[in-house]
Amino acid sequence: MITIRRSKKEDETAVVDLINSIMDREFHDAKHAYPTEDVESIEKSYGGIGEAFFVAIDNQTQKVVGTVAIKKEDGRVALLRRLFVAPTHRNLKIGKRLIDRALEFCREVGYEEVVFKTTSKMSGAIDLCKRNGFTQRAHIVLGPIELVKLSLCLREDVHALKEKV
């Protein structure tokens, strides 16, 4: 069983270890583009109004096996960040549950849109976001690096609202 909850101070080392181990194993060439300063002090980086950091905890081992964060871009837009799931726990719908919890938080706060920016190498996270309703908005090639921007509108469609009336 997996529990999704807000990160606590004592989770920080496990979060950094999880992200670093995934980056070392799967994205070694791109690791320099993803510094971990933000997760070395989660409260400082994600403790503002409209921000949150969630972890997936394996209830048997009490280990952090997944992460997702919400960072405020502005009053209307939130950034989805740090979407990671341990290789040992993939294909168990943990990534979906993390995204669902992050989007629930965004709706509670009142964001209208959620944006996810990454490199094309993070294809698993991109596919997961697309399966959860995100649409690709940009694809930029910068030499050997390809940047991808996905977004999800959280507002109900104006036409759908009119049909309900």
- In this structure, which amino acid lies at residue 60? Q
Separation of first and last alpha carbons in the chain: 42
Task: Indicate the pLDDT class of residue 145, thresholds 50, 70 and 90.
Answer: confident
pLDDT, position 156: 67
Domains of the chain plus CATH, in order, are 2-164 (3.40.630.30)
Q: Comparing C-alpha atoms, which of 99, 63, 105 is closest to residue 84?
A: 99
Q: How do residues 102-129 score in pLDDT, each as one tens digit?
A: 999 999 999 999 999 998 889 999 999 9
Distance between CA atoms of residues 9 and 94, nearest Å: 22
28 burial level (CB within 10 Å; 0-12, 13-18, 19+): exposed
Instruction: Output phi, psi for 24, to 5 deg.
Output: -60, -45
Q: Comparing C-alpha atoms, which of 44, 123, 41, 53 is closest to residue 90?
A: 123
Distance between CA atoms of residues 100 and 52, nearest Å: 13
pLDDT exceeds 60 at position 161:
no
Q: How do residues 24-54 score in pLDDT, each as one tens digit?
A: 999 877 777 678 889 999 999 999 999 999 9
Task: Indicate the pLDDT class of residue 143, thresholds 50, 70 and 90.
Answer: confident
The answer to whether 56 touches 47, Cβ cutoff 8 Å, is no
Stretch 90-101: mean pLDDT: 97
Stretch 55-62: mean pLDDT: 97
Distance between CA atoms of residues 43 and 41, nearest Å: 6
The answer to whether 66 touches 84, Cβ cutoff 8 Å, is yes
Q: What is the DSSP letter of 40?
A: H
The answer to whether 116 touches 128, Cβ cutoff 8 Å, is no
